[in-house]
Amino acid sequence: DNPPEGLMPTNKPTKTKSLLRDIVKAGRVTKLVNGCRDVLVLYHQGQLHAMDMRCYHSGGALQYGDIEEFNGRMCIVCPWHKYKITLAEGEGLYQAVDDPTAKPLRTHWCSKGVKQRIHKVTEVNGDVFVTLNNSSETIESDVYQTEKYRTMEANRT
């Protein structure tokens, strides 16, 4: 009963191991870490990132989102409602308007704060380890880390 290549669990309870070459080739992989957390691992512009797989807003599948730059920050854009989440911090970004009556309308990017749980990614000799962020602080994406949403996603595919 061997796990799929590139997604081998480690003996440590809060880590999972994947192969860097598999992540680079795919650009992103999803993994159920420690049997309890769905994590998206991304490789973008030479950097690895890991975050909760489902968007904090409505549970959208972030593995299908585009990666774009907004105000100098790399974000994944949720394919469901176009919410923008920074890869490094998990912040939700939005465009704000100071004066809606001004012509032309002037907008600027603002942060909603951390909305998506970000996890630590470490690469050692081609092996990629994801260590869960087990901070006790509640983050909005935590809502979608239940068996209910795992079952819902499995039934969609």
Locate 7 and state its tokens: 């997604």
Sheet holding 118-124, edge to edge: 7-9, 15-19, 127-131, 118-124, 47-52, 37-44, 28-33
Give pTM, 2 decimals: 0.82
Residue 137: the pLDDT is: 93
The candidate with the shortest Cα–Cα distance to 135, out of 110, 156, 149, 118, is: 118
Q: Which domains does the chain have, with CATH numbers?
A: 16-148 (2.102.10.10)
pLDDT in tens, 38-95: 999 999 999 999 999 999 999 999 999 999 999 999 999 999 999 999 999 999 999 9
Residue in this structure with the two tokens 């880590």, named with its chain if needed: 15
Q: What is the mean pLDDT of residues 17-33?
A: 89
**pLDDT beyond 60 at 151:** no
Identify the band that residue 114 occupies on the pLDDT scale cut at 50, 70 and 90.
Answer: very high
Residue 18: the pLDDT is: 79
